[in-house]
Structure 1
Amino acid sequence: MKTLLTALLLLLPTLMLAADPAKHVKADEAAKIIADGKVAVIDVRTPDEFKDGHIQGAKNIDIMANDFEAQLGKLDKTQPTLVHCQAGGRSMRALEVFEKLGFTNLIHLDEGFGGWAAAGKPVVK
């Protein structure tokens, strides 16, 4: 029993990654993807956070909004979609909703907008 439990604990991180629907990128790679112009950038932070600074061309859809899922449902589910929040926590939760709705090409900005700004990437205010 102890051996089985140990094996499961060792496999858990691998299983969690296998279930993750997104490609994970840092700011430099995200900037290249955005520069190609073929990705929708979805910022799941609050409107106030968004107003304080955001990525050029990003669409703000607040994960805390009552109609969050409905707003996502209006987007093109086949278009590459880069999702981010401030640090990565809320956007990781949001990925579950994107996947549930059938999005097929998700990209997660792992360090969020904070990592983007810290890397010296352009910010719109």
Structure 2
Amino acid sequence: MKFRSILFLLISFVILSCDGQAAKNIKTIEAKDFAETMNTTQNPQILDVRTPEEFTEGHIKNAENVNWLGDRFIADAEKFDKTKPVFVYCKSGGRSKKASQKLQELGFTNIYELEGGFMKWSAEGLNMSTD
């Protein structure tokens, strides 16, 4: 009985420790804070993880399309500097959350994820581009 209790506590500790590590490198922030942090970062790395079709309809200025659903996501992501901040967004937040976790696994150390995605960005009336 005592062994089971200790084992349970040990497993719980390991699980909670891993969860805290993920939150340390990935910061999910609201649209206005995302824009402000991006604008105060020298040469920000902005990754739009939507499809190329979604990207051409409108995106954040200077964003690069790195399609989460594409076959080249990892290869394309590896081209960015892992030691510099990276800003990640998708349409509503689902793909960017998965992409941010993958970027962390790849060794990126400072990841900002746009809460609510491009839909929230647009709703806030923030700058967009179609270039």
TM class by shorter chain equals: 0.7 to 0.9
Secondary structure in 1 aligned to 2:121?
helix
- Moved segments of 4+, more than 2 Å: 12-21
- Gaps spanning 5+ residues in structure 2: where? 9-14
CA 1:13/1:123 → structure 2, altered by over 3 Å: closer, same or farther? farther
1:36 and 2:40 are equivalent in the alignment: yes
Secondary structure in 1 aligned to 2:87?
strand
Secondary structure in 2 aligned to 1:45?
coil
Larger Rg: 2
Which residue does 2:57 correspond to in 1? Answer: 52
Give the % identical residues. Answer: 35
Matches within 5 A, 1:24-103: 24-38=28-42, 39-103=44-108
Deviation (angstroms), 1:91? 0.5
Q: Could you report, residue by residue, the CA deviation over 1:56-103 in whole angstroms, capped at 9, with x for unpaired residues?
A: 010110001111101111110011001110000001011121011100
Deviation (angstroms), 1:36? 1.7
CA 1:15/1:73 → structure 2, altered by over 3 Å: closer, same or farther? closer
Which residue does 2:27 correspond to in 1? Answer: 23
- Gaps spanning 5+ residues in structure 1: where? 6-11
Root-mean-square deviation (CA), in Å?
2.3
